[in-house]
Amino acid sequence: MEKPRRFAMIRDFHLADWFTMGNAFSGMITIFLSMAYLQEQDVRFLYFAAAFTPLALIFDIFDGRIARWRQQSSAMGRELDSLADVISFGVAPATFAYACGMQGLWDMAVLVAFVGCGVSRLARYNITAESMSDTAGKVKYFEGTPIPTSTILVAVMVIAIVMGDIGEQLWFGTYQIGPARFHPLVLMYALSGSLMISTVKIPKL
């Protein structure tokens, strides 16, 4: 009887899978640093948090290219990629927005919906990727904007941080709607989420 290998799953990871894990790790660091800002109120935490979002994007770009280069794509790799993207381009940008001041009840509702849209978009991609692929197995287009486009949202928030317009100074002000506060700036997350679950077709480069 063959003796089970220790850590067999990890040992079977391909190089591309480790890049995917780098994506997930970067997203988690963004989340932790955003929470550190809320605790310490040191704006440097926000800058460091934001810096890990483009790093996650770099990992996300290269994991697919490495998998194709080494011809080592797998079902495990595809699932890892989607799960990592949920963390880095769904939960992390939403947490970053909360740390920057979108903390009203209506803001949180929008941010939760944004994450839900990202999860839904990835689920749809996973079940339709095969039908959208060409003869070489490469997906020809995206249906709905890819979830990594949320990197743009983080970039917008970085501009606000540089200008000192976070917290109570968020652009477009604060409104009291019923029992809770609402920051109109959070609508850019609503727009991003809506585009993710739309049926617009975007050619994949």
Residue 163, both tokens = 């200008």
Q: Which amino acid is at 42?
A: D
CATH class of 8-203: mainly alpha
Residue 45, both tokens = 């935490």
Instruction: Identify the pLDDT of residue 74.
Output: 64
| Chain centre distance of CA 176 | 29
Instruction: Identify the pLDDT of residue 102.
Output: 97
Residue 104, both tokens = 């009203």
Supply angle C-alpha 78, 98, 28, rounded to 5. 35
Which residue numbers in the chain have pLDDT < 70? 1-15, 67-77, 129-139, 205
Residue 98, both tokens = 């909360």
| Domain ranges (residues) in the chain | 8-203
Residue 6, both tokens = 């220790």
Q: How far apart are CA 63 and CA 53, in angstroms?
A: 15
Do the strands 180-182 and 175-177 form a parallel or antiparallel pair, or are they unpaired? antiparallel
- Could you give phi then psi for residue 41, rounded to 5 degrees? 55, 35
Instruction: Identify the pLDDT of residue 11.
Output: 54
- Could you give phi then psi for residue 104, rounded to 5 degrees? -70, 160
Instruction: Identify the pLDDT of residue 131.
Output: 64
Instruction: Identify the pLDDT of residue 141.
Output: 74
Instruction: Identify the pLDDT of residue 193.
Output: 97
Tell me which residue of 57, 78, 58, 56 sits closest to 67, measured CA to CA. Answer: 78
Instruction: Identify the pLDDT of residue 201.
Output: 83
Task: Count CA atoms closer than 13 A to 173's CA, side-chain side.
Answer: 3
